[in-house]
Amino acid sequence: MTKVERASFVDRRLAELYPSPPIPLDHKDVYTLLIAVLLSAQCTDVRVNKVTPILFAKAASPEQMIKLPVAKIQEIIRPCGLAPRKAKAIAELSSILIDRYDGEVPKSLEALEQLPGVGHKTASVVMSQAFGEPMFPVDTHIHRLAQRWKLTDGRNVVQTEKDLKRLFPKERWNELHLQIIYYGREHCSARGCDGTVCQICRALFPRRKNGVKTKK
């Protein structure tokens, strides 16, 4: 198969497996989604979903969040890891949302990327899942699978995002981003498959005998 043919196969198969992929992070609105995505950095969605109900019970808006001491935010989100940095970012971005955006999350990738603790991936997830803008955020699952399926050379996540955007139709980016994540978790995990085990890897590369080492 050519790279384009592999991409087409992946697109069709994942659409069959996950026709309506849900957003994995529990949230109530754009603000709570933003906070949940921020907390998910270097943390599983499962753990974030256990922590956010506790946090949002105390503060589910920027106005409520700035009234919580940073030490309290840190205490609540400790299970998510990097708690001091994340707590400080949550407090600071909440204040900025009130001061600059009337308490609303801005509907702009550039504006989101300027918020404390919000990088390109987090901003892209919010733009995609909250505002429906076509984005292709690349997490560890997508970066790994794109390499196993030879859809990118895997030099870095920036290059992977560019390569995937070129290969897949723009109208499929948002769903496909979630579909690849779900497939990576359930079938083509870091330990459960090395590029030779799962159904898509076997279909794309039936003669592959050696595992694929993922580039960071």
Catalytically active residues, by annotation: 121, 139
d(CA 138, CA 144): 10
> Quick one: CA dihedral 180, 125, 80, 158, positive or negative?
positive
Question: Residue 205: exposed, middle, or buried by beta-carbon count in 10 A (0-12, 13-18, 19+)?
Answer: middle
Q: Give the three-class secondary structure for 31.
A: helix
Beta-carbon contacts of 19 under 8 Å, excluding residues fewer than 6 positions away, are: none
Q: Where are the alpha helices (DSSP H) in the chain?
A: 3-17, 30-39, 45-58, 62-65, 70-77, 83-101, 109-113, 120-129, 140-148, 157-167, 173-186, 199-204
Taking alpha carbons only, the member of 150, 152, 130, 91 closest to residue 138 is: 152
Q: How many residues does the chain have?
A: 216
